[in-house]
Amino acid sequence: MRSIHSRRTAIALLAPLIAVSAVGCGSPAPLPAEPSPVQSPSAVSTDIPSPGAAMDVSRELQRLETEYDATIGVSAGEPATGRSVAYRPDTRFGYASTIKLFVAAEFLRRVPADDRKDVVTWSAGDVKAAGYSPVTADHVSTGLSLENLAEAAVRESDNTATNVLLDRIGGPGGLDAALAQWGDDTTHVARAEPALNEVDLGRTDDTTTPAAFTGNLTQLLNGPILPPDDRALLLEWMSGNATGDALIRAGAPAGWTVADKSGGAGPMRNDIAVVTPPGGDPLVLTVLTRRNDASAAYDDALVAEVAAVVLSAFAD
């Protein structure tokens, strides 16, 4: 399912991030019973080395909130320089399918490379119950390897693939515990697909914040969670994401490279990404949005316009 071009793109994206930090060169330790004292997402995403590194785009984002009758959350950070943008960084949003990126990451962390080739199967009933499953629906009779399922979850946002991987890592509770080990005590993983898309804002179930997700993705790319080969593989899958063209990628300046994982349901539309300008330092960007009218459909253009505003600040 992977191409040589996407593999090279992933490696090119990864190299500058690895250069920022020397940690993460060995295999990750097994998941302990208690969370390990890794750096928290808030510390990762707000580690600003010099005054004035935080850039204010609040006026432009407030305008978009009014125009779209929506609530916007943004957290962006450039690890090499400490420059950042934050807008409602600690507001909770439903994460929808963006969580699939972290399902795949924890799968890579837990499952040795040889075991990822194991072929597993599922039923037509599993596919019907899970909903959107463009890859697994075509392989009910043959199954796929676990690694192919992880790729399908990230690139194609396949629900059945996600649920199979969740089972392999201990279900929603297993992923929730893993995120706590990474230092994220904000994100609350409660349910599998498709129930995770039914978000009650009076509860924390299946919600996160922009700061938490940017911290998690920064940890994945620049910390001890994954060894370099698995980081490159995860970025390769993100670089081939089939569902993100109208989101952050659409708002990025010409020539900038975007590797992302999208998510959306009902009024929610989200995207999380590694964005790299030509010859520049990569940055991590989380855009979480929801329409204020719960019956309104999400709008891809909102995410694209938010990305354009945020990325223009880094382009200056």
Catalytic residue among 6, 45, 75, 97: 97
Distance CA 98, CA 294 (A): 19
The answer to whether residue 257 scores a pLDDT higher than 90 is yes
- List Cα–Cα distances, 167 to 90, 106, 143, 297, in angstroms: 29, 12, 16, 31
Mean pLDDT of 212-226: 94
* pLDDT confidence of residue 16: 52
- Judging by DSSP bridges, how do beta strands 84-87 and 54-55 pair with one another? parallel
Do 230 and 108 touch, CB atoms closer than 8 A? yes
> With the CA atoms of 24, 30, 32 and 37 taken in that order, what torsion angle do they form, in degrees rounded to the nearest 10?
0
The answer to whether residue 37 scores a pLDDT higher than 50 is no
Do 251 and 304 touch, CB atoms closer than 8 A? yes
Burial of 191 (0-12, 13-18, 19+ CB in 10 A): middle
pTM: predicted TM-score of the whole model, two decimal places: 0.86
Provide the b/e sequence for 279-288 (b: ≥16 CB within 10 Å): eebbbbbbbb
- Is 97 catalytic? The answer is yes
Do 133 and 127 touch, CB atoms closer than 8 A? yes
Provide the b/e sequence for 15-25 (b: ≥16 CB within 10 Å): ebbbebeeebe
**For the segment 130-175, what is each residue's pLDDT rounded down to a tens digit?**
999 999 999 999 999 999 999 999 999 999 999 999 999 999 999 9
Domain 4-114+172-315 CATH class label: alpha beta
pLDDT band of residue 198 (cuts 50, 70, 90) is very high
pLDDT band of residue 47 (cuts 50, 70, 90) is very low
Mean pLDDT of 254-273: 98
Distance CA 216, CA 28 (A): 15
Instruction: Characterise 80 by phi-psi region: left (phi > 0), alpha (psi -120 to 50), beta (else).
Output: alpha
Using alpha carbons, select from 316, 315, 313 the residue that is nearest to residue 56.
Answer: 313
- Judging by DSSP bridges, how do beta strands 207-208 and 257-265 pair with one another? unpaired
pLDDT band of residue 17 (cuts 50, 70, 90) is low
* pLDDT confidence of residue 60: 98
Catalytic residue among 193, 236, 239, 262: 193
* pLDDT confidence of residue 6: 47
What are the residue boundaries of the structural domains of the chain, listed by start?
4-114+172-315
The answer to whether residue 8 scores a pLDDT higher than 90 is no
- Is 193 catalytic? The answer is yes
Mean pLDDT of 276-284: 95
* pLDDT confidence of residue 223: 86
Collect all residues with Cβ–Cβ distance below 8 Å to 244 and sequence separation of at least 6.
258, 260, 261, 262, 271, 273
Looking at per-residue pLDDT, the higher value among 20 and 127 belongs to 127
The answer to whether residue 203 scores a pLDDT higher than 70 is yes
Q: Tokens at residue 213, please?
A: 């997700």
**For the segment 86-108, what is each residue's pLDDT rounded down to a tens digit?**
999 999 999 999 999 999 999 99
Whole-number percent of the chain with pLDDT over 90? 80
Collect all residues with Cβ–Cβ distance below 8 Å to 230 and sequence separation of at least 6.
108, 109
Whole-number percent of the chain with pLDDT over 70? 84
Collect all residues with Cβ–Cβ distance below 8 Å to 121 and sequence separation of at least 6.
140, 142, 143
Do 214 and 286 touch, CB atoms closer than 8 A? yes
- List Cα–Cα distances, 218 to 17, 178, 184, 243, in angstroms: 9, 15, 12, 22
Alpha helices (H) in 72-158, listed in sequence order: 100-110, 124-130, 146-155
